Amino acid sequence: LEMIEETIADYDVLSHDTLHSQQIIKDINHQTINQWLMNINMILSCLVQNSTEEAKLTQ
């Protein structure tokens, strides 16, 4: 019985570590997605600004 209890305790630790790892991966993914969105946002802002300046120049 003691061995079974130890095994269950080990599984508990394992499952907690796995959940923790998954949370870290989610956090990293969110950071990566945020970084991408910020980059895309900056690129779009530059494109809009360029086209606005071009439109002013060609008037």
Residue-level pLDDT at 45:
94
pLDDT digit string (tens) for 16-47?
A: 778 888 888 899 999 999 999 999 999 999 99
Residue-level pLDDT at 39:
96
Q: What is the pTM of this model?
A: 0.58
3-state secondary structure 1-59: CHHHHHHHHHHHHHHHHHHHHHHHHHHHHHHHHHHHHHHHHHHHHHHHHHHHHHHHHHC
